[in-house]
Amino acid sequence: MNKDLTTKKKGFFRGENSTVLLIFVGFVAAVVVLQLIASGGGEYPAMISPANLTNIVMQVAAIGIMAMGMTLIMISGGIDLSVGMLTSFVVLFIAKSFRDWSFPLAAAIIVAILLAVLFETGMGFVISRLGVEPFIITLGGQIAFRGIALLIVNSQEISMSGALDGLKNTVVPGLKDPTSGLNLNIPPYIFIFIAIVIVIWWVLKYTKYGRRIYAVGANPQAAYLAGINVKNVQLSTYSLNGLLVGIGAVCLLARVNTAIITTGANLEIDVIAAVVVGGVAMSGGKGNAWGVFIGALLMGAIANGMNILRLQAEWQFVAKGLIIIAAVSAGALTDKIQARRQVRQQNIASGRQDAQEPRSGQGE
């Protein structure tokens, strides 16, 4: 098991990362070529302009933060379908408590994040202690969070009136895109996103806790026999996911400035898609933070590229679906090729060993 884990952690350009990175670069290149053809080569491709690339990161920052929490859960062998409606609950609770219940903004944010952690911990407790399928429990959580959010605001939307502009405004005033002359907006939540990716990468790669998450996802029975508290590891991933969903929801609220029940609608699809495209196995025990980071950027680039090409929204769903299928299929194909290569190398090594044994016997 340890050898397996070591094999999975061989730097950035390993199988799953290389696959999703290649698809990401290929998609961006395809959009750039189409733009050049459409403009006759007379305009700088908007897809790769600094302003647009920054815009893609801004659009995926909240989803990417939540995808880091989903990465922990899915590597440990679970899944969470409730993150979308939990996001709606968090943004509505913050807006309602700040605008109508006279909470200080910081207190509203802290309480909302703590509630997200509490809800996720409750689901994690049921899943880890009772052995119930995560799919069913988190689906129930999704429905319950939607109901709670609707009760809080009576299906109304609440404007934050710029209260979170500190997270939205650029940290480098006056910075311009040299290709278009547009102002470059680099909000603080981009750095929050990148910092969280680095932290999750470090936890998974260098800590004992990270190795235990991989072990539980790969084989919970073997992990238990190795002395790992499987239940607590599973529970902790849901608690951490609640924390990251809360942080991601705050960043999303800062970007859209309005809390409404549809804020998190279907968000779990994009989050899970980013994680799966990023190379995390649905069965658990495999994946890494950088692959998911690229997966999140890819999902944002698809929507952004389709808008640049002025294609209908329906085609965005088609493109997203096909790219998800392609990425997962390519990842599975890469795994099979690597597995066959390892078997071939083992057979060659065992053949050499068999050939050397008679010689050593003759020498005696």
Mean pLDDT by 10 residues, the chain (364 residues): 44 68 90 89 86 94 97 96 96 94 95 97 96 94 94 86 91 85 89 97 96 96 96 97 97 94 91 92 90 94 89 80 79 78 83 64 48
pLDDT reported for residue 4: 43
pLDDT reported for residue 237: 97
- Full-model pTM: 0.88
- In this structure, are residues 8 and 204 in contact, taking their beta carbons and an 8 Å threshold? no
pLDDT reported for residue 357: 62
pLDDT reported for residue 8: 44
pLDDT reported for residue 16: 66
Instruction: Please count the other Cβ atoms lying within 10 Å of the Cβ belonging to residue 64.
Output: 30
pLDDT reported for residue 315: 81
Q: Specify the residue for token string 């065992």.
A: 350
pLDDT reported for residue 328: 75
pLDDT reported for residue 78: 95
